[in-house]
Amino acid sequence: MRKFWCAFFVFWPIVAIIYSIVASMTPSLGWWFPGASVTELGQRIDNLFYLILYIVTAVFIGTQIALVYVLWRASHSKDERAWFSHGSHSLEVIWSVVPSVILLFLALYQMDVWALFRVQAYFPKEARDAPIAEVTARQFEWRIRYPAPGKKLQLKPQPDDLYDVNDLHAPINRAVMIQLRSGDVQHSFFLPHLRVKQDAIPGQIIPIWFKAEKQGIFELTCAELCGWGHYKMRAQLTSEREVEYEAYLKKLQADQNYDGHATPSAVAKKDE
Amino acid sequence: MSAAGVAQEHGHEQEHAQGAHGHHEQSFIQKYVFSTDHKMIGKQFLFTTLLMLMLGGALALGVRWQLAFPWTSMPIFGPLFANAGGQISPEFYTMLFTMHATVMIFLVIIPVLAGAFGNFLIPLMIGADDMAFPVLNMLSYWFMIPAIACFGMSFYFGGAASGWTSYAVLADLRAAAPGSGSAQTMWLMGVTFVGVSSMMGSVNYMTTIINMRAPGMTLFRMPLTIWAMLITAILQAFALPVLTAAGFMQLFDRLAFGGWLEGIHTVFFIPAGLVVNNTDPTVGGGQPLLWQHLFWFYSHPAVYIMLLPAMGMTSDMLACMCRKPIFGYKPMVYSMSAIAGLGFIVWGHHMFTSGMNPALGMTFMVSTVMIALPSAVKVFNWIGTIWGGRLQFNTVTLHCIAFVSMFIVGGLSGIFMAAVPVDIYIHDTYIIVAHFHYVVFGTTMFGVFGAIQFWFPKMFGRKMNETVGKWHFLLTYIGFNGAFFPMHMLGIAGFPRRYADPYVHPYLEHLLPLNQFITISAMIMGFAQFLLLGNFLISIFRGEKTGRNPWNSNGLEWAAPSPPGHGNFDVPPVCFRGPYEYSNPNRANQDFWMQTDPTRNPKNPPEAPAHGHS
Ligand code: HEM
Ligand SMILES: [Cu+2]
Ligand SMILES: [Cu+2]
């Protein structure tokens, strides 16, 4: 029985490690990140994740081995009495100082990525100067307001602003800024493929920026409980080339200005 | 030296004569219902929390069912629902996970640690005959009943559905969650009653521990359980008022009075101009983030309220099972104090992505990362305690080892989320769910299961069944890890928490089979708890009878009869040494040395064998 229980307690960490290795090495299983990050900042976040992962895995293996080792020794002890020891001062010092140095290093090492992500003074200038859209989260959709082509986004809605729902377009390879707000309760703007997440707080306007480096359609979901329909706030980020982006805005503008009395050619064009 | 010993022995005998307790007859109601005896109150808490554990577990299985088999009718529980076909609607799902967390946190973990074990153990372990304020103690149990009633009414009204975190503005505006009108209000009242109950307990524990220790029980001779209970009581006393105040603020935000009371309608957390569900725009000037700050200012310390007592109890059990002094007693005390102190300045780590000032993110990151340090020190000391011990794998040992092993996982995953940039991605995903279940269930609950079996003989004078206990452990451990380890992977894959149907999002579709595996594991774990419940209930009447000290342990509680009568000790205890003198080479014929054992001359065997041979 003693052997069984020692094996039992070593078995689980081994399964956990194997499972983690399989999950991280086999993208086809989909048990790991949803693909490499599409932004450079996201890649830096992933790198920080891996740095922590390596340190933590080493500690995990070390402590679990130590645990099972002392278990084995203690359960197979032939001594009449246990070792009478109240502890060791030098060990306490070692195992307080070494982890605290590692932990402090980890904390300080995270700072600049956080500053880049969230502190407005560190945002790329091109993003800070010209926010491309205002995203308002509502139960249970995302409303998007763009300035008319060639104009700047204003705090107050303008008559010529362009609107869309649940489809945010952004040009690739350009740092873009979004003004995030909420129309009712709290929500969270989550772009898993870009490693972007920011809560939308009622009564507050929060700037976020990203620079997608890949074309495509990426999911936009809500990550903060906002009511019964929280799960279905499904939307997307369409990341496209600059020309396509401009065409999209033009089309929005045309649709919005369409007065219902179109010329036959316009109707024909629409039917295509 | 030996003269002193004789004098002590003499005093002991005299006290023995006085110690015979005057018996006054008690009615059934006084004894079993409105009891002021700390042991009975502890048992009342224990029975109630075990019952609530089963209820909370059932709610969790409802959540798991929906994630594994979305929109299909659930067996057994399905027909109980009002919904057609037993299907779980999104509203119902939101209510399920809210009430699951509420029941588990406020009606299981917090009251089982402080209420059940705090009550039962504190007077016994420090050698007091009862708590300082027995009536207050009784009230602290009876205030749980209106709390349970409020949560029950909340169910009846459709269930609170804003998560256990009850974030403003969702929880503040009735229109934001249709149907939650009275339910959310009742939920707030329930939390307030739990708070009152905890506060009464906490005042009592502090007073009792500080003032009522037996002669010789100096602070640094207190078992770590008592240290943990003291620190927990202090944490609670300082953190809880903030939650209570915040709860009332939210309550006043929600209540829509008419007539002359209209002025009472407040807007603490409600900003102006919100249009919720097509109702009129709100008027206000409140700040929703204020709620989060107030809530987490309580609830982060609260996660340690949910852990420290289990840490203390596991330390005591582990030392006894390894027949070895606890490794680094004082570092253990200091690290618990450090956890409690740091625990007050880390609450912002729940709010990294909330939109608070980004500079705060950096400070909270540093403090949060540093709180992992005392946790690590404790783990090393537990491993040190086993090192060189002589240990037997009984149910108690198994649970203690699981406690350490699972705490390593939960503590390490905490570091990922303490790192702000990484937390941007993993916040509010399933990796958070994995993290806190490893600490709250994997750590605390395994500690509690161990403690139930360890102190059961003291509670009822009988032992729990070992074989059933081991099966319960085995199934719970396997089910637990099967259910919660893969959740880390779900989180890394970006699987958000609190989604009624995650599979509407194409990037999550392929995770359904993994979720089914998790649900099956959770069911195994859930059903295993019937073994615990059955073992517990049957052993009260059928278990093997035990003497005073079945584990050959050192604490004062083992000097009292099993179960202790009214007034606890037949001999008023005097404490002669610390609680961890196991395997002292100066003791000739036993490997333990009870705190009450007056033997002074180390080389000689005790003149009269101390109580203790079972
Ligand atoms: C090693 C020390 C620990 C660290 C560094 C740590 C860190 C964190 C962080 C940063 C979060 C927030 C994550 C997020 O929402 O994005 C969190 C959540 C949580 N932690 Fe810990 N934690 C530690 C230990 C514990 C312990 C010991 C417990 C309980 C006994 C605990 C219980 C919780 C709970 C319940 C939550 C989630 C609350 C919620 O959002 O519903 N943690 N932890
Ligand atoms: Cu949402
Ligand atoms: Cu916390």
- Assess whether A246 and A161 both reside in one domain: yes
Q: What is the pTM of this model?
A: 0.92
Do residues A198 and A179 lie in contact, with contact meaning Cβ atoms separated by under 8 Å?
A: no
Quick check: B611 pLDDT over 50?
A: no
Nearest C-alpha of chain B: how many angstroms from A10? 10
Nearest to A230 among B383, B427, B499 (CB): B499
The confidence band for A268, taking pLDDT boundaries of 50, 70 and 90, is very low
Identify the bridge partners of residue A84 per DSSP, sorted by sequence position.
none
- Assess whether A131 and A255 both reside in one domain: yes
**Predicted ipTM?**
0.93
Backbone angles phi, psi at A229, to 5 degrees: -95, 15
User: Is A10 at the interface with chain B, CB within 8 A?
Assistant: no
Closest C-alpha among B98, B69, B102, B101 to residue B86: B69
* Buried residues in B372-396 as b, exposed as e (16+ CB within 10 A): bbbbbbbbbbbbbbbbbbbbebbbb
Contact A87 B384 (CB under 8 A): yes
- Assess whether A35 and A147 both reside in one domain: no
pLDDT digits (tens, 9 = 90+) for B81-111: 656 567 888 988 999 999 999 999 999 999 9
Nearest to A31 among B163, B383, B493 (CB): B493
Contact A230 B94 (CB under 8 A): yes
pLDDT digits (tens, 9 = 90+) for B534-586: 999 999 999 999 999 999 999 999 999 999 998 899 989 999 999 999 998 88
Residue A85 lies in a domain: no
- Assess whether A229 and A192 both reside in one domain: yes
User: Is B584 at the interface with chain A, CB within 8 A?
Assistant: yes
What letter represents residue B426's amino acid? I
**Rounded mean pLDDT of B384-406?**
95
Total structural domains within chain A: 2
CB < 8 Å to A71, chain B: 386, 391, 401
User: Is A2 at the interface with chain B, CB within 8 A?
Assistant: yes
Superfamily of domain B40-60+87-271+278-302: Cytochrome c oxidase-like, subunit I domain (1.20.210.10)
**Rounded mean pLDDT of A33-54?**
96
Residues 6 or more apart whose Cβ sits within 8 Å of residue B115: B41, B42, B45, B49, B140, B141, B144, B197, B201
pLDDT digits (tens, 9 = 90+) for A95-113: 999 999 999 999 999 999 9
- Assess whether A9 and A109 both reside in one domain: yes
Residue A56 lies in a domain: yes
Residue A81 lies in a domain: no
A210: left (phi over 0), alpha (psi -120 to 50) or beta: beta
* Buried residues in B221-232 as b, exposed as e (16+ CB within 10 A): bbbbbbbbbbbb
- Assess whether A155 and A226 both reside in one domain: yes
Residue A67 lies in a domain: yes
Residue A84 lies in a domain: no
Tell me the domain boundaries of chain B: 40-60+87-271+278-302, 307-546, 551-614
- Assess whether A95 and A192 both reside in one domain: no
- Assess whether A105 and A146 both reside in one domain: no
The confidence band for B601, taking pLDDT boundaries of 50, 70 and 90, is low
| Protein residue closest via CA to atom 14 of ligand 1 | B427
Using only C-alpha atoms, chain B has a radius of gyration, in whole angstroms, of: 25
Nearest to A19 among B276, B391, B485 (CB): B485
- Assess whether A163 and A240 both reside in one domain: yes
Joined together, the tokens standing for residue A210 give 């990203």
- Please tell me the predicted confidence (pLDDT) of residue B608: 44
- Assess whether A102 and A176 both reside in one domain: no
Q: How many CB pairs under 8 A join A and B?
A: 327
Query: Residue A12: which domain range?
Result: 2-75+90-118
**Rounded mean pLDDT of B454-481?**
96
- Assess whether A244 and A140 both reside in one domain: yes
pLDDT digits (tens, 9 = 90+) for B520-531: 999 999 999 999
- Assess whether A160 and A236 both reside in one domain: yes
User: Is A92 at the interface with chain B, CB within 8 A?
Assistant: yes
Q: What is the DSSP string of A211-264?
A: -B-S-EEEEEEE-S--STTGGG--EEEEEE-HHHHHHHHHHHHHHHH--S---H
Residues 6 or more apart whose Cβ sits within 8 Å of residue A41: A113, A116, A117, A195, A210, A211
Residue A83 lies in a domain: no
Number of Cα atoms under 13 Å in the Cβ half of residue B217: 30
Residue A80 lies in a domain: no
Nearest C-alpha of chain B: how many angstroms from A181? 11
Instruction: Please name the residue of chain B whose CA is at the shortest distance from the CA of residue A52.
Output: B416
Distance of CA B76 to the CA centre of its chain: 29
The DSSP call for residue A37 is -
Superfamily of domain B307-546: Cytochrome c oxidase-like, subunit I domain (1.20.210.10)
Length of chain A: 272
Contact A77 B582 (CB under 8 A): no
Residue A102 lies in a domain: yes
